[in-house]
Amino acid sequence: MSDAHVSRTLGAVFFPNFELLDIFGPLEMFGSVGPEVRIATIAEEAGPVRSTQGPAVSVDHSFGDCPKLDLLIVPGGIGTMTEGANPRMLEFLRTRVAEAELVMSVCSGSGLLGKAGVLDGIRATTNKQFFSLVSAEGPKVEWVREARWVDAGKFVTSSGVAAGTDMALAVIGRLWGVERAEKIAALTEFTWHRDADSDPFTRYLDQGDVGEMAAALEA
């Protein structure tokens, strides 16, 4: 762990209709690492950005006013469908992914990375409920249907919502040692599912309904 003491900035990307736990589960874990991590919240414009569940985050940085990002995390949520057609979001992701040491996504966040083209030829996963819908966003991605998360080196993508928190601890373990990840899990009284390949939710594969998802976007 020669670089364990290096300070890193983690950029958390927000957009309207993001999914709360997708991002705040991982940020709980990264925010518990210590002074080695600074979290920067980012959106197209700074200020309030509302989640699908209702509560809004107060974002600190716009795309144009954003520090250098060592780590990047993209949550999912129904908003990813809209953002996949937002050229400013896709351009931001392409530019910052190129500069980053490590890029994470949770749930349908990998669909957004897929749409940006940065996952082409790379193994990745996404949520189970809307697997076909999201994976269609990145036709050249090597989608993995059964995985809690997929560690493809620079890119680490997780399955739906709660899976992102397990993935975050795995990345913390890689960057700062597994003992650090275990200590954070104990402090947060979190039962860490450490096996990336164990996915009890694959049985729900594509039980989602596109009409239902579209209706939710209208509401």
Binding site for its own copies (CB under 8 A): 12, 19-21, 24-25, 27-28, 30-32, 38-39, 41, 47-49, 51-58, 60, 127-129, 159-163, 165, 186-191, 193, 200-201, 204
Q: Which is nearer to its own copies, 55 or 64 (CB)?
A: 55
Nearer to its own copies, 120 or 187 (CB): 187
CB of 87 to its own copies, least distance (A): 26
Let me know if 107 is a catalytic residue.
yes
- Of the pair 51, 157, the CB lying nearest its own copies is at 51
Q: Long-range contacts for 202-208 (Cβ within 8 Å, ≥24 apart)?
A: 202/128, 202/145, 202/146, 204/128, 204/129, 205/128, 205/131, 205/145, 206/128, 206/129, 206/130, 206/131, 206/132, 207/128, 207/129, 208/129, 208/130, 208/133
CB-nearer residue toward its own copies: 80 or 127: 127
Contact 205, 128 (CB under 8 A): yes
Residue tagged active-site, from 10, 69, 71, 107: 107
- Residue 67 CB, nearest distance to its own copies (Å)? 13
We find the least distance from the C-beta atom of residue 104 to its own copies, in angstroms, to be 16
> Which residues, other chains included, contact 109 with Cβ-Cβ below 8 Å and sequence gap of 6+?
22, 73, 74, 75, 76, 80, 126, 157
The pair of three-digit structure tokens given for residue 144, joined into one six-digit string: 């993995």
- Cβ 174 to its own copies, closest distance in Å? 20
* Residue positions annotated with a catalytic role: 107
